[in-house]
Structure 1
């Protein structure tokens, strides 16, 4: 990955917030308030999250018009999903249309990234899962986007509350157990890809052990395999199912990290990693990683005792 100038995350956000405010000066959105305007009492200006998410919407909608490949479908769906979510919390169609109209064409990708990062930092909790998923989607969109997201990246730290990381760790442990079966039973042509899956999940597990302050006391001794894995086709299906359920599990963490937005950003990184692995196994890229219809999401493998299925 090419080297880029280091800029602290906080400095980048502060600078970008000023620029985004200038772009969207006319958008007096009141995301968290429903109070009517009163005579002689000035209404507040848009919050940093409002400015950021409006800017992100404008950028997504603008880029969607000239997108190619998978993005030709994904970007319009992401823009429409964000628009619908913002309208659901009180942002008017006029504000959204203004944001779209005042977005440069083509929009600078760096500004879109900063807008999403700032939105994730300050948005209401109701928008946190969608915004976190959009961050993960942006991270995995292209090599260029991945490089831009690395600018000013901060080292992971301890979470203010480790509890929300525990379900993510449990999901990763289940996925890693399934991945060892995929390695043992995969066709020779898929063996390297399967091993890469194990390596990536092992790295996620190591980080999540620290984030959750886990002592291993609740770790399952094994899991029951809930689908066949004898033929190459079945093993590939197992890999895909495992990674689809992992992205869904990671996305569920967003609703529990409202008080720690640095942790929310790390969850976006976990979600991006899982989505990248899933794409390598042929899982179609969704508009919002991890936020597919929960009715279709497969259950995680059930923990068992020492006599569980082994590779």
Structure 2
């Protein structure tokens, strides 16, 4: 009896003193859950998603987006002109160059990881209104707006209006280039010079910068040999080629006077790259010296050019590029750029 009693007593005490392990686990889990609820855990809401990472802008993103937006509008303007009575092979060629520039700048943005939606938003944004000074780069002598310059959002349907659009690179655009990396600055400066040249090719006058920039001595040094070379070209040409050479020479003399402020005083002694004693040699000299001048724009601007130097060189280069077209040197998307 005693043995049986002790046995039952032990089982009872075990039941009262040591609960089964499963009850201990459940009790501990409930206590932990109560503690978490007390400290703010909500069981009726899903966990908030982690914040999305912020995209870092790509190098030169702002200036490249602005260029892509401008070029996209230029492409559309040229396409509109090509659908009307002012359509021409010249406008078609200029649009092709614009599309080459657009392709390169879009590629730079996408290669740098800029989302297509960001590029599309920049293109879709309305263009900012520009003052006459911003459109032409110079203040009109009369102090009044140029009536040939259309508002920024005006439709372009004529050759003259398209030319004014090409000549819409303003001081803010040149200033923005100084914030870009050297490679991007070189490409954009070359593209802006070509845009101004396109305006000249379409019959629009692009004047040199009103005040000389730090690059002006280098500009003068590049212009004087051109004048001398075309004196030789004109002297060794005949017939229609001579007339063309004389017209180019007159334009170069005007350009030299504009950049130097004085009539031509070209010193003797410049050496020619080869003997020029025939009309064929004269034509070869004309194309080579003009092509060389077009390719020198980056060198003329200098290593760290300011906005004034970039604009000064761009406007000078535009005049030279337009003259080169007359001698069979085509406009290119990035004249003189190596990047």
Instruction: Please indicate the TM-score interval, normalised by the length of the shorter structure.
Output: 0.5 to 0.7
Aligned partners of 1:55 and 1:99 also within 8 Å:
yes
TM-score between both structures, scaled by the size of structure 2: 0.57
Q: Matches of 2:224 and 2:201 in 1, distance apart?
A: 31
Q: Confirm or deny that 1:176 pairs with 2:227.
A: yes
The structural deviation recorded for 1:54 is 3.5
Instruction: Give CA-to-partner distance per residue, 1:228-279, whole Å, 9 cap, x none.
Output: 42332221111010100011123423344632x1332121111111011111
Name the structure 1 match of 2:316.
270
**In structure 2, what is the equivalent of residue 12 of structure 1?**
none
Q: Distance in 2 between matches of 1:287 and 1:154?
A: 21
Report how far residue 168 of structure 1 moved: 2.7
Q: How far did 1:77 drift?
A: 0.9
Does residue 303 of structure 2 align to residue 289 of structure 1? no
Unmatched 5+ residue regions in structure 2? Answer: 1-54, 83-90, 128-152, 157-161
1:244 aligns with 2:291: yes
* C-alpha distance 130-256 of structure 1, shift in aligned 2 (>3 A): same
1:119-198 matches, within 5 Å, as: 119-123=173-177, 124=180, 126=182, 127-142=184-199, 147=204, 156-159=210-213, 161=214, 164-198=215-249
Q: Is the 8 A contact 1:172 1:201 kept in 2?
A: yes
Q: Does 2:66 align with 1:52? A: yes
Question: In structure 1, how many angstroms separate the alpha carbons of the residues matched to 2:254 and 2:271?
Answer: 23
Q: Which runs of 5+ in 1 are unaligned?
A: 1-27, 34-45, 295-311
Query: What is the rounded CA distance, in whole Å, between the counterparts of 1:96 and 1:231 in structure 2?
Result: 53
Compute the RMSD of aligned alpha carbons. 3.9
**Matched-pair contact (CA < 8 Å) for 1:176–1:198:** yes
Higher normalized contact order (CA 8 Å, seq sep 6+, divided by chain length)? 1
Q: Which of residues 81, 102, 107 is equivalent to 1:79?
A: 102
Q: Which of these residues, 222, 227, 232, is aligned with residue 269 of structure 2?
A: 222
- Output the TM-score relative to the length of structure 1: 0.61
